[in-house]
A and B are shown apart, each in its own frame.
Chain A
Amino acid sequence: MSTRLQTGGRLIDRSHREGFSFNGKRLTGYAGDTLASALLANDQMLVGRSFKYHRPRGFVAAGGEEPNGLVNLGKGGQFEPNQRATTTELFDGLTAESQNHWPSLEFDIGAINAKFSRFLPAGFYYKMFIHPRPLWKHVYEPFIRNSAGLGKAPQDRDSDRYEHFYAFADLVIIGGGIAGLQAALTAGQAGAKVILMEQTAHWGGRAPVDGVTIDGAPADDWIAKTVTTLEGMENVTLRTRMMGAGVYDHGYVLGYERVADHCPGLGLPRHRLWRIRAKQIITATGAIERPLSFAGNDVPGVMLASAIRDYAVNWAVSPGDRTVVVTNNDDAYRTAICLKQAGLEVPVIIDARPEASGALPEAARALGIRVETGKGIAKVLGGKRVTGVALCAQAGEGAELEQVPCDAVAMSGGWSPVVHLWSHCGGKLNWDDAQAHFRPDANRAPTSHDGLPFVISAGSANGELHAAATLGDGDAAGKTAIRALGLSATAGGVAKAEAEAEEPMTPVWIMPQGAGVKLRSKMWLDYQNDVKVSDVQLAAQEGYESVEHAKRYTTLGMATDQGKLSNINGLAVLSQSLGADIPQVGTTTFRPPYTPISMGAIAGEARGEVFQPLRRTPIHEWNDANGADFEPVGQWRRPYTYLRNGENRADAVKREVLNTRNNLGLLDASTLGKLIVKGPDAGKFLDLLYTNMMSTLKPGRCRYGLMCSENGFLMDDGVVARIDDETFLCHTTTGGADHIFAHMEEWLQTEWWDMQVYVANATEQFAQIAVVGPNARKLLEKLGGMDVSAEALPFMAWADGELAGIKVRAYRISFSGELSYEIAVPASQGRAFWDACIAAGAEFGLMPYGTEALHVMRAEKGFIMIGDETDGTVIPQDLGLNWAISKKKEDYLGKRAQQRSHMTDPKRWKLVGLETVDGSVIPDGSYGVADGINANGQRNTQGRVTSTYYSPTLDRGIAMGLVLNGPDRMGEVVEFNKVDGTTVAAKIVDPVFYDKEGEKQNV
């Protein structure tokens, strides 16, 4: 059983007990425990069920590479699934539940899958669920969805806060073990601005656990001293609980800081994502031990050898009373020695190598531990917990030589440098045969914006696994960084680390070497996704020879642990199956993040009120307080309509339209773009941008203009006002303001840079209030201050003046077909002007109206709208706007494109009005149906609806649409489809439904 040792535990504080609950059971641990060490201390080895077969799963590791110990952590707004117990710091009140089982962890019905494991090999999903096709929707998919996933999805909104932080440094060092600490010292002393980050809460990495001495004293001494020195250096920033999540182009590094996971409830931001730009990066990210592949290597109690000694030394937890060690290298002997010295039993060390004569094996033997060389584990005994192992000859096929009772197995297949961050931005790897691992190739480092290398690997991450070399390599990396930064290293010695010398390891990819398929189908590679040695061999057999294919076919390495314990073992098996060298087969692509990061950290502050920048006009608060039913127009919020007295939208829109046409309406049009274009060449420039001739527009007058793209399609429209000889004011659509401003700058800066034109975006300088309806002039005359008579201010003219004591510019333009003034007011007085209109307008029946009433009224008048009548494929000629296209101009944007045969084809659908025979409203998106069907079995079409509304003015449905030969077919009836498959008959009519002569707007 797993227990807490009476003494020891360098990271725990026995004077502080913490209470937590696991699957409803109340347990205790100590401050400094992880959830994993606390669970093990309470003999909770079984912690979950695997994804596919629902096999019992226990802890394998002690750090972020843990594949099995995943829990649903927390409650309510803090609930999060798939949290690794090994990286969850214990705090008082923590609640956790194991995952992926029903009804309980101990008795899981999903385990039935394991009985059928022979029939659920790699490629199962692809092969099984593809036929018969009809069963997919109602049988297979629901079944898969129910059994899919590990943890439970959260139900409540995340109640924590998250933020980002931008930082800039000369050197970012990722990893706070002895190599990283030394590199920080070397670089810091040379004056570099350094950020050193460590993902756990503690400095020093593996060295203290592995018994490393530095300058003759225990590693902990040097570590503490170095941390103190670094903390005193102004140019060095130290951060714990911060993981290097990814290395990106041009020195961009993400640091994932878990600010408050260990101390919830203090109102701190939970996670902070550091977005760092570094000139140089050192990855001192350590190495991860590999499992060995023997039958039953997934039974709870089988763990990485280094993890077992991590638990023993760091947290005074012994995962087993009797631990068998199985290894292909000397390092694992440290675990045996450590356990024996803690008073625990180590019945045997099983070494696959033919001999074990190094210092560590000798020390083990000296302690009385039995060492068997040339042996392996044939299989593990036990189901939910290890009860023993069966030994065999490593060179054989697995014939059992003897059984040894035990309750834990410490396995070591060697060490793989953590090369992920090195690889993220293109760093290349070399295969080191002697150590059987990939390591960074310093000659093919990632390069930055200047083409020069910007990542340096250090320590174990660089393949320098032995402590003596590790620390020195940190110094070397620091010096490489300093040189690259143009600084000079300070003189001074570097501490010397010492550890026992080690004899070479021997790669062992399958144990025993000659194991048959029965044993190989119980050798686990990927503990989360249940991928076995036999699966990878099957993939190779079936032709999935590329490591990328084999990965996806078997799902090896695709679980939340991203293959940290399985990738190398898996690709070694694949290589053997293909008869290829490991470096030839290669690795799959390493992608950030290194371990999973929260969605909250990625979003940062962007949620709730600040999820996106809402744009509000100067009238916003009044709108909000007066029943505005807002709609998004880009990032703006505009009132769709103003609801009164329990009205629904349709009622409100109807009221607004009728009131505006009969009395007086007020519209907040502030969002429309207002671009000031000035210069000797302004007219010439606008002549190129618009289809119309703008240079002939006289000061004081307005002209409606169209803008097309170079590909010929209509992209924006708006009224242009001539202010003076050299100055124009161009209105754009709301959505077009920023876009057209950018468009103008693009052409002036990148093509016509000899033209003398300046553009300024004055969109937000002015609130723009439309005063619309038969009583419009009366209201403005009551406000007083300027002459707004028909003579002084005729239709399509503008004038500067004053109204209600506020400086204004008044435009006589109309989108509704009524008598209409658009009043531009400085935004700081926009609300004041609006309020004055509301107050003075009451006697004239003034009511505000929203965007929908605006759209209905313009449709009644046959005015087009960008985005309705246009969709990126429509040209002005389609819309009957040939009058807006100057025939005199040699050139304008879109002219050449409109000369292409497709654009001049008479069969292009043209704009008409549509009136249903029965008065109903044609559905949005409806198509005009033609005879026959096409090659796809769909009905042929001869037109489509672009805008459709109920018209209160005419009390019937009206629509505009593009129809084949439309203008020549006035009076014809065409069927338009409805959503239920039937059609509605509509007559082709003039798109101007109301006041064709324009009498109401020209007064």
Chain B
Amino acid sequence: MLILTCPYCGVSGEETEFHAGGEAHLKRFGPGSSDADFESYLFHRENPKGVHFERWRHVSGCGKWFHAARCTTTLEVFGTYTAQTSEPPQSIKDAITAKRPGWTWRDFA
């Protein structure tokens, strides 16, 4: 059972205080978009064995959404960061690189 640290209220809580919210940094496609783009937005998800970015909400807590960078195999959490960004901040990317040099995920690296 994971521990996650909410970047908004600073609480390190166990997983049951949070609700998982799927893949992070999805790009929304709306009216006017192609079928392929829209399908990708609705249904295509990364399924990596390793570095992954995901959304969490602190439901039994401050109620805020945040992002987490986490390894899907070892469950190491590289860091948690604000939800109001469409890509991981440099500090998070650096933290990952320190542990997993050469990592990639979609178009981040």
Contacts and interface: CB of A to CB of B under 8 A. Distances in A.
A and B touch in the complex (CB under 8 A): yes
A449 B76 contact: yes
Interface residues of B, number: 29
A674 B64 CA distance: 20
Interface in B1-51: 1-3, 14, 21, 28-33, 35, 38, 41-42
Contacts of B74: 426, 447, 451
A891 B1 contact: no
A292 B44 CA distance: 55
Contacts of B30: 891, 895-896
B29 A896 contact: yes
B55 interface: yes
A753 B77 CA distance: 25
Contacts of A250: 1-3, 75
Given A451-B74, A742-B57, A897-B42, A750 B3 contact: no
Nearest to B71: A451
Contacts of B3: 250-251, 277, 449
A749 B84 contact: yes
B42 A710 contact: yes
B65 interface: yes
A250 B42 CA distance: 32
A252 B55 CA distance: 22
Contacts of B59: 742
Main secondary structure of the interface of B (DSSP, over half): loop
Interface in B49-75: 55, 57, 59, 63-65, 71, 74-75
Nearest to A745: B63
Q: How large is the interface on A (under 10, 10 to 19, 20 to 34, 35 or more residues)?
A: 20 to 34
Given A449-B2, A451-B76, A746 B35 contact: no
A248 B1 contact: yes
Interface string A877-905: 00000000000001100011101100000
A890 B74 CA distance: 44
A371 B55 CA distance: 68
Given A447-B76, A449-B77, A890-B31, A252 B42 contact: no
A750 B14 contact: no
A252 B14 contact: yes
A249 interface: yes
Interface in A846-894: 890-891
A487 B21 CA distance: 38
Contacts of A252: 1, 14
Contact of B75 (A449, A750, A900): A449
Given A248-B1, A249-B1, A900-B35, A746 B65 contact: yes
Contact of B33 (A711, A750, A896): A896
B106 interface: no
A23 B3 CA distance: 49
A999 interface: no
Interface in A413-454: 426, 447-451
Nearest to B42: A711
Contacts of B2: 249-250, 449
Interface in B73-92: 74-77, 83-84
Nearest to B8: A749
A751 interface: yes
Interface string A228-269: 000000000000000000001111100000000000000000
A896 B34 CA distance: 10
Nearest to A450: B76
A260 B84 CA distance: 52
Contacts of A426: 74
Nearest to A895: B31
A250 B28 CA distance: 33
A895 B33 CA distance: 11
Contacts of B84: 749-750, 753
A129 B98 CA distance: 57
Contacts of A900: 35, 38
A281 to B, nearest CB: 14
A905 to B, nearest CB: 15
B97 to A, nearest CB: 13
Contacts of B65: 745-746, 749-750
Contact of A896 (B31, B57, B83): B31
B34 to A, nearest CB: 10
A277 B14 contact: yes
Contact of B31 (A447, A749, A891): A891
B43 to A, nearest CB: 9
Interface in A690-734: 710-711
Contacts of A890: 31
A593 to B, nearest CB: 15
A919 B8 CA distance: 61
Among A252, A895, A896, max chain B CB count under 10 A is at A896
Contacts of A749: 64-65, 83-84
A750 B55 contact: yes
B56 to A, nearest CB: 11
Among A248, A451, A742, A745, max chain B CB count under 10 A is at A451
Contacts of A751: 28
B31 A451 contact: no
Interface in A446-473: 447-451
A746 B31 contact: no
A899 B31 CA distance: 8
B42 to A, nearest CB: 6
Given A277-B3, A753-B84, A896-B38, A746 B75 contact: no
B77 to A, nearest CB: 5
Contacts of B21: 746, 750
Nearest to B37: A896
Nearest to A710: B42
B13 to A, nearest CB: 10
20 contacts: A250-B2, A250-B3, A250-B75, A447-B74, A447-B76, A450-B77, A451-B74, A451-B76, A742-B57, A745-B63, A745-B65, A749-B65, A749-B83, A750-B21, A751-B28, A753-B84, A891-B30, A896-B38, A897-B38, A899-B31
Given A449-B3, A451-B99, A900-B35, 16 more contacts: A248-B1, A251-B3, A447-B74, A451-B74, A710-B41, A710-B42, A742-B57, A742-B59, A746-B65, A749-B64, A750-B55, A750-B83, A753-B83, A896-B29, A896-B30, A896-B32
Interface of A: 248-252, 277, 426, 447-451, 710-711, 742, 745-746, 749-751, 753, 890-891, 895-897, 899-900
Task: Enumerate the 5 nearest inter-chain pairs by beta-carbon distance, A residue then B residue, closest first.
Answer: A451-B76, A753-B84, A749-B65, A250-B3, A449-B77
